[in-house]
Chains A and B, each alone.
Chain A
């Protein structure tokens, strides 16, 4: 079983839509969780850390569900500039990257 699993998508949504990505992890002892954004031919950039209580940064909301071992990312009011691949990352003595979920926001 993979350490981290993500739906690869692609997700194609219209501008202004709300879209949610989920990511499951296998190690219940995992300690920290992150969402990264990667644009085509660029390096991953940290979007946000995911805290147990959930956290919000503008249009982005991240949630952690330890009981079910998943993390989620919600993007509200999607912009064209949100088009990218979103990677979930789980740290359990090593960083494990999901395969990424591709998002395209359509005008």
Chain B
């Protein structure tokens, strides 16, 4: 299984500012994803981070609000732009390894609070 780290682990930000979350995997992976999880809720997929090209966003999420980069096979960033209190959530990155099995492994998450 892949080991995934995220930073920051948590942050408190003012509305109108932006935060970039980093996700690092310890081995090359085929796919990386970004999810959001509100307290007591399940995970909602924001986008698939594509290596070397634009991310694929799910309905309700747009690039201007959540720009994503994936410059190589082991690293991705998610930016939460022009934040509002509604963006307060846990943001998780996940990855699928090279073994050809669709098992996702998750980073520890970034707990974001927007005031």
- Give residues in A with beta carbon < 8 Å to B: 31-32, 34, 42-46, 49, 87, 89, 91, 94-95, 97-100
Contacts and interface: CB of A to CB of B under 8 A. Distances in A.
B15 to A, nearest CB: 24
Interface residues of B, number: 17
9 contacts: A42-B109, A43-B109, A44-B43, A45-B106, A46-B1, A94-B58, A95-B33, A97-B42, A99-B41
Interface centre among A43, A45, A87, A98, by most B CB within 10 Å?
A43
B103 A34 contact: yes
Contact of B42 (A31, A43, A91, A100): A100
Contacts of A42: 108-109
Given A43-B92, A46-B1, A95 B105 contact: no
Given A46-B1, A97-B43, A99-B41, 17 more contacts: A31-B102, A32-B102, A34-B103, A34-B104, A43-B106, A44-B43, A44-B92, A44-B106, A46-B103, A49-B101, A87-B43, A94-B45, A95-B45, A95-B102, A95-B104, A98-B42, A99-B42
B60 to A, nearest CB: 14
A18 B33 CA distance: 34
Nearest to B107: A43
B103 A43 contact: no
Q: Secondary structure of the B side of the interface?
A: loop
Give the top 10 A-B pairs by smallest Cβ distance, nearest first: A43-B106, A99-B42, A97-B43, A97-B42, A32-B102, A43-B109, A91-B102, A43-B108, A44-B106, A46-B103
Interface of B: 1, 33, 41-43, 45, 58, 92, 101-109
Contacts of A31: 102
Contacts of B41: 99
Contacts of A43: 92, 106-109
A34 B58 CA distance: 21
